[in-house]
């Protein structure tokens, strides 16, 4: 006799298997839009959550995927109503809505995050303390990177953080993009057990902007 879905998820990880298959199926359909062939590991999710600002309350997640990082954020203590999860893939979006009915899960484009947040009224309770991203920034062109980061920081509080993981050896955002947006980066934690291994980076607004030198005319001596 076959096991019902609820019993299967309790006994042999059916929920995780279903989520992994959903993710892999979407990767097969459009590999360029999804950064990896498998969901993020729990270790990576913990590494990401560990970089939240102290006392963080309101969080945006970009590219929720199957919900590994979403679950870690909720386990950390983020209230579902204070968590907005943005997922562009329709099937993954529906999966997230079923799995996290209390969170604000929306189907939208990260480049339009400010508009998405306004449309659902999420900004009415204040700006975000952090944006946690599972997007494949490394594979995106410069214009897309600029649009996503600019939109993300439009919903972040002044001291807010953008937390991103990458499979590359360096920051997924080049120096010229950071400079144009007035951001600084910090290499944070490494997740060995992720497949493939991943590094977490944290981006914040630069505390001070460079001051352009002002040419001062030569003072004439008093006679």
Pick left, alpha or beta for residue 65 (phi over 0 → left; psi -120 to 50 → alpha; otherwise beta).
left
pTM of the model: 0.77
Cα separation, 173 vs 156, in Å, equals 18
> How far is the CA of 83 from the CAs of 61, 67, 70, 197, 214, in angstroms?
7, 12, 8, 26, 46
Indicate the helix (H) or strand (E) that contains 204.
strand 198-205
SS3 call for 188: strand
**CA-CA distance, 217 to 223, in Å (whole number)?**
18
CATH 3.40.50.150 fits 41-205, yes or no: yes
The residue to which tokens 């439009």 are assigned: 154
Taking the domains of the chain in order of start, what are their residue ranges?
Answer: 41-205
Q: Which two tokens stand for residue 223?
A: 């006679």
d(CA 151, CA 69): 21
Per-residue pLDDT of the chain (223 residues; tens, 9 = 90+): 333 333 333 333 444 445 444 444 444 445 444 444 445 678 889 999 999 999 999 999 999 988 999 999 999 999 999 999 999 999 999 999 999 999 999 999 999 999 999 999 999 989 999 999 999 999 899 999 999 999 999 999 999 999 999 988 899 999 999 999 999 999 998 877 666 788 999 999 997 554 444 444 444 444 4
């Amino acid at each position: 006799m076959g096991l019902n879905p609820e019993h299967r998820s309790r006994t042999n990880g059916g929920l995780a298997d279903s989520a992994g298959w959903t993710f892999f199926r979407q990767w097969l359909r459009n590999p360029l839009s999804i950064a990896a062939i498998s969901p993020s590991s729990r270790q990576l999710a913990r590494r990401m959550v560990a970089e939240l600002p102290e006392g963080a309350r309101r969080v945006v997640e970009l590219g929720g995927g199957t919900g590994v990082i979403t679950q870690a954020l909720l386990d950390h203590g983020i209230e579902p109503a204070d968590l907005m999860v943005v997922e562009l893939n329709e099937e993954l979006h529906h999966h997230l809505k079923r799995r996290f009915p209390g969170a604000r899960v929306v189907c939208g484009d990260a480049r339009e995050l400010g508009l998405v947040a306004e449309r659902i009224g999420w900004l009415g309770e204040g700006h975000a303390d952090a944006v946690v991203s599972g997007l494949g920034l490394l594979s995106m062109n410069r214009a897309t990177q600029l649009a996503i980061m600019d939109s993300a920081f439009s919903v972040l509080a002044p001291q807010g953080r953008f937390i991103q993981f990458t499979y590359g050896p360096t920051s997924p955002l080049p120096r010229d993009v950071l400079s144009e947006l007035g951001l600084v980066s910090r290499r944070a934690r490494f997740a060995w057990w992720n497949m493939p291994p991943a590094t977490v980076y944290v981006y914040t607004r630069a505390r001070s902007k460079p001051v352009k030198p002002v040419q001062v005319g030569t003072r004439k001596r008093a006679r």
